Structure 1
Amino acid sequence: MDTFADLDMTQKQVSVLWLVDDHPGIAQTDLAKRLRMDRATVMAIINRLEGRRLLRRGQSASDGRKQTLKLTPTGVKILAEAKKAIHEHESWLKGRFTKQEVKTLIEFLRRIHD
């Protein structure tokens, strides 16, 4: 959480920005599925990000019931800063291990994730 403190962002908020950036026009429901979070939680995150003018909602061209999401220029800037903070944190963390230890750690984390 300290990684994004200067940006006044949470890990979940950064994850939402990242996914929206990777999938411009993604529907809110699809975003919730990808994050494996309930729609109400994702909606609350989106509302906060929209309130900060980091993303904006739009109407789906193919389905009028769906709302799509896109980053604003400010959202793009904040995401770039968050990615830089992530890279710095990963470098700090990896610096405490040998290359083999990092490889082993990643393998263990993958097992936990799967």
Structure 2
Amino acid sequence: MEAYKKQTNRVAETILGILGSVFGIFGGLFAIVFDGLDASFNNTSGSEITGLGISVILVCIITLILSCIINKKRVVMGILLIIGGILNFIFIGFFGVLSGILILVAGILALLRK
């Protein structure tokens, strides 16, 4: 007979990951809008921040999916969430602080909780 393994609830990780991803998507959109406003006022083409904003939106969509399926393989999902949180800091800096922290905490909780 197979021993019964109790699966732990990952509600905290899921909620933190979803909130961080949503804030990251808003941060990416804000960075794109901010870059567009800067380009219109200074008569320059500012595609660098726009590209980074789009990259953050893509990373946040991936972390949103990962935080929804965190019960499958918690260690792999935790490591990927930590990488996604760090990428938020790197890509858009100040705009990604809140989302990066929330996604990092979700990844660390997924690794630490058994």
Same fold (TM over 0.5): no
Question: TM-score, normalized by length of structure 1?
Answer: 0.30
Question: TM-score, normalized by length of structure 2?
Answer: 0.30
- As a proportion of its length, which structure holds more helix? 2
